[in-house]
Amino acid sequence: MIKRAVILSTGDEITSGKVVDTNANYLSDKLAEIGIDLVAVLTVGDVPERLEWAWRTAIAMADVVISTGGIGPTVDDLTTETVARIAGVKLVRDQTSVDKMRRMFATINRPMPENNLKQADFPEGAEVIPNELGTAPGFRMPMNVDGHESQLIVLPGVPREMKPMMENWVVPWLQKNRGTDTVFAVRIFQTFGMSESALDEAVAGLIKPGEAKVGLRASFPQISLRLTVEGKPAEANRKLEELAERVRGKISQFLFAEGEASMEEVVGRLFVEKKLKLAIAESCTGGLIGHRLTNVPGSSNYLLADLVTYSNDAKAALLGVQSATLEKFGAVSEECVREMAGGARKRIGAHVAIATSGIAGPDGGTPDKPVGTVCIALDSDGVKASRRYQMRGTRDWIKLLTSQVALDWLRRYALGLEIGESALFRR
């Protein structure tokens, strides 16, 4: 019965501060998802007696110990031999792993360094956990200490190798060995436009205690909501679907995706699907909207151009904003962004254009237009919209939030939804 876990993070690169340990965070999240209680994370450098201390301490505290790091080919990689020493077993070379390693090196046409063979040595009695993306496989083995059996799970430290091994091998294994016949069915909702507390409140009324575990996770500027239902497989999935339907009904205005997806992915997918061509005119966001959209492969299928007109002259020359508008209302005004969006759309020949202008700070604020004043406009053949927002935060937050609101407008436009319901920060 696996109820309690300890995570072991090892490596001098972590204890010297060179690298942030994101593995422990990823593993903590996965364990929380399948309902295993994380007792502690122990982090030590590549020092034999500290590694041994950490393993012994972890084994004494938990039903499962998951370790990352220390299984590479170098002399600093001490995890496998430490585990074997504690278990009192010898190392055995695994021929399947050797063959696989040789094939990997053959594919890239390079001779295999002999010290790589070390990575095919496992403590006697261990089960190999295959690593599809690297040369160091992991392993699992049981260990009996004072009548209590712990499971040791050893994974590499490289996140892109470790994560699929966790996802494809360890999580299913843990699910199966939790000692119950229940599973955890999980659904993630990506939202934008509601505060964390408003979202919490909206959902609280929908889900009765015991029906599901509700988790909120804010990664500014979007907030994801995670529903976890425990039960027998078919039942848990049916229940989850029912709850998901309730959630969709309640927060549909603010729900932009289910599963792992960013706002820019959603916008890109919609624009390709609807065969819409996009033009952007940015001022305060300085290129961030274009940057975010072009981070997603395939953006050249719908994005024609993004004119970052930082100076007033550029707004006039490149977008045709009238000097009278700039004089009378200023560059940060709904009047100006409307002309920016209209000018961008016509000059670039797009179906729709979005424009931003604002005061990102820390300087440049006035009593009428304090730092955080942001105007956004959308222009298309049918729909035209503009709005002034008062945002709060640092320069990068204001840029990021503005880009998010602009992307959300584009999403709403593509879906035929009303524009402008997405505001967290109203005038």
Site for a copy of itself in 130-149 (CB under 8 A): none
Cis peptide before 362 (omega within 30 of 0): yes
Contacts within 8 Å (CB) and 24+ apart, 307-312: 307/279, 307/280, 307/281, 307/282, 307/344, 307/348, 308/282, 308/283, 309/281, 309/282, 309/283, 309/340, 310/283, 310/286
**What separation, in Å, do the N-terminal and C-terminal C-alpha atoms of the chain show?**
55
- CA separation for the pair 328, 326 (Å, rounded): 6
- CA separation for the pair 396, 405 (Å, rounded): 14
CA dist 227 → 75, 182, 183, 254, 399 (Å): 44, 16, 13, 16, 31
- The two three-digit tokens of residue 210, written as one number: 């015991």
Which range binds a copy of itself by CB under 8 A, 66-74, 310-318, 404-412, 416-424? 310-318
- The two three-digit tokens of residue 371, written as one number: 């730092």
Which range binds a copy of itself by CB under 8 A, 19-27, 97-105, 204-212, 416-424? 19-27
CB 382 within 8 A of CB 372: no
**Which H helix or E strand runs over 210?**
none
One-letter amino acid at 120 equals A
Q: Which is nearer to a copy of itself, 50 or 100 (CB)?
A: 50
The correct pick among 59, 251, 303, 391 for binding a copy of itself (CB under 8 A) is 303
Q: Which is nearer to a copy of itself, 264 or 335 (CB)?
A: 264
The correct pick among 300, 324, 381, 426 for binding a copy of itself (CB under 8 A) is 300
The correct pick among 360, 376, 385, 407 for binding a copy of itself (CB under 8 A) is 360
CB 129 within 8 A of CB 138: yes
The correct pick among 96, 177, 295, 323 for binding a copy of itself (CB under 8 A) is 295
Site for a copy of itself in 49-68 (CB under 8 A): 50, 53-54, 57
Which range binds a copy of itself by CB under 8 A, 99-107, 200-208, 332-340, 360-368? 360-368
Q: Is residue 16 near a copy of itself by the rule CB under 8 A? A: yes
CB 135 within 8 A of CB 116: yes
Site for a copy of itself in 165-224 (CB under 8 A): 215, 217
The correct pick among 121, 161, 306, 408 for binding a copy of itself (CB under 8 A) is 306
Site for a copy of itself in 361-380 (CB under 8 A): 361-364
Which range binds a copy of itself by CB under 8 A, 105-113, 132-140, 294-302, 320-328? 294-302
Shortest CB 139 distance to a copy of itself, Å: 24
Handedness of CA 403, 409, 410, 411 (dihedral sign): positive
Q: Which is nearer to a copy of itself, 137 or 358 (CB)?
A: 358
One symbol per residue from 263 to 292: x for binding a copy of itself (CB under 8 A), - otherwise; what is it? -----------------x-x-xxxxxxxx-
Shortest CB 12 distance to a copy of itself, Å: 10
Shortest CB 66 distance to a copy of itself, Å: 13
CB 92 within 8 A of CB 124: yes
- Largest CA-CA distance found in the chain, in angstroms, rounded: 84
Shortest CB 87 distance to a copy of itself, Å: 22
Q: Is residue 396 near a copy of itself by the rule CB under 8 A? A: yes
Which range binds a copy of itself by CB under 8 A, 48-56, 90-98, 126-134, 251-259? 48-56
Q: Is residue 418 near a copy of itself by the rule CB under 8 A? A: no
- Please give the radius of gyration of the chain, using alpha carbons only, rounded to the nearest integer: 27
Q: Which is nearer to a copy of itself, 38 or 257 (CB)?
A: 38
> Looking up tokens 């065969």, which residue turns up?
275
